[in-house]
Structure 1
């Protein structure tokens, strides 16, 4: 019998309240967003209170300004994340059902869309307030991994975005008929807990590296460097974990259950990239380029 870990008996709702015609429920996913944004805000405040971390130019914002920026970031995350899901993952469905686009409570948010929304929000805020966008972006990059960690843990608790079938002893049997149907495996089958892989790499590992670079290596003194580190780190982590993650249903077919959207070659030797890799590899390349340009520019200014 295949060794596997049963899915923990945790529901997607923390609690719910029903009073007459009114109903309210707090979900783990919503709590992850709330706590992640608040944690990011507090990290930015702490960074702004430590001008020595930024070199001779000092911090790019007053300690009170991250709270103002938080509103812009929330709008960027929600609007960008939702529109990114609509455009990247299910454009055909939402073209046929446009009234469902605002229904974010039904699920459906894309990290890459949310990231783009945050970029636009930060650029707008910095332009309006005359702030250096690159240096403010560095602070946001450092403050982002806690939210990624909590978001991926919430994905796991919700039993969503699970991985591909595996016979490894740490495989998890996720709830739901679709999660337990695995071609070539006996049902119910175990799957990689890819949400936890992403939580560890995108949240813990990337966050620890960035904290070390800021507090031990003075990385914030090089404008743009931490933006590059975040983009490259997330792009590399997501590209790697996509090898263990089950593709979204809209990209799978009976003869291609793993959902490769770009195929190279033909027949059994064909290989491809998932949508997550298509969106993450450019982040990796862009991040490395930003690091290189930032360090060269900093060296030229010091010289």
Structure 2
């Protein structure tokens, strides 16, 4: 059994503080951009477009993720502490908000740049699960988003989150991190293995796999309950994405045309 006494601060000198969360987030972004570069090069798309789009997506995704966390989970706190709104290196990014932010950013980019974004949409979604992998690692180092109590042998103690008490809990952050890694593997495998993949297939597969797993893994967390509703906030926010993806697959029967 592991006792999580990890220091969330990687480096501190004077007014400079580097946190593990910020480092993991940066690694995730760099990997995503590297994958964009590879995918665009394989398709003979403009490499300049990769970096321009990446800047937009990083900004739009982070704004969406931060606003999602603030609005859906901690509005009262941030209204009382507005200076902390911009401190994303401390944690506090919501995957639901990030997904909305990325989609809206792509639509805005299409409008501003006057290009057809549709042919790039699925490519741009492929590395997104990797961001979740590294963000959840950052959550683990921060001892946040902790799991429910358990007696399983793989349980972990989070004394920093439990005011020094030794309570064995599910490592829900690691569950989500590993699941996101598997989802990335599935999506990337399908993209490389099959030809004639219908447009938006990858996007909706991501929505279905990621938010369905998120819905299920919420049962292992200390959940944020709204108005004594039986589902957590994370589950409620996941449902629209799941419903939309199921509807898309039902409506687009041509998904059977996937070929090696």
Q: Give how far 1:143 is off.
A: 1.4
Which of 68, 71, 75 lines up with 1:84 in the alignment? 68
Give 2:38's aligned residue: 46
Give 1:14's aligned residue: 10
Which of 212, 225, 239 lines up with 2:189 in the alignment? 212
Which of 169, 192, 197 lines up with 1:191 in the alignment? 169
Is 1:232 matched up with 2:208? yes
Q: Give how far 1:137 is off.
A: 2.0
**Are residues 132 and 78 of structure 1, via their aligned partners in 2, closer, same or farther at CA, if it must alter by over 3 Å?**
same
Which of 220, 224, 233 lines up with 1:244 in the alignment? 220
Greater Cα shift, 162-171 or 133-142: 133-142
Greater Cα shift, 128-137 or 29-38: 128-137
Higher Cα Rg: structure 1 or 2?
1
Residue-pair matches, total? 257
Give 1:273's aligned residue: 231
Q: Deviations over 1:229-273 (max 9, x none)?
A: 11001111100110101124xxxxxxxxxx36553xxxxxxxx10
- What is the distance in 2 between the residues matched to 1:85 and 1:234? 18
- What is the distance in 1 between the residues matched to 2:251 and 2:16? 49
- What is the distance in 2 between the residues matched to 1:177 and 1:62? 47
Q: What SS does the corresponding residue of 1:26 show, helix, strand or coil? A: strand
Give 2:50's aligned residue: 66
Q: What SS does the corresponding residue of 1:246 show, helix, strand or coil? A: coil
Q: Which runs of 5+ in 2 are unaligned?
A: none
Q: What SS does the corresponding residue of 2:220 show, helix, strand or coil? A: coil
Q: What SS does the corresponding residue of 1:178 show, helix, strand or coil? A: coil
**Are residues 179 and 273 of structure 1, via their aligned partners in 2, closer, same or farther at CA, if it must alter by over 3 Å?**
farther
Greater Cα shift, 95-104 or 113-122: 95-104
Greater Cα shift, 170-179 or 139-148: 170-179
Q: Give how far 1:80 is off.
A: 1.2
- What is the distance in 2 between the residues matched to 1:294 and 1:111? 26
Q: What SS does the corresponding residue of 1:167 show, helix, strand or coil? A: coil
Q: What SS does the corresponding residue of 2:11 show, helix, strand or coil? A: strand
Is 1:27 matched up with 2:19? yes
8 Å contact 1:138–1:225 — kept in the other structure? yes
Q: Which runs of 5+ in 1 are unaligned?
A: 52-58, 181-186, 249-258, 264-271
- What is the distance in 1 between the residues matched to 2:171 and 2:66? 24
- What is the distance in 2 between the residues matched to 1:130 and 1:241? 40
Q: Which has the higher contact order (CA 8 A, sep 6+)?
A: 2
- What is the distance in 2 between the residues matched to 1:198 and 1:156? 11
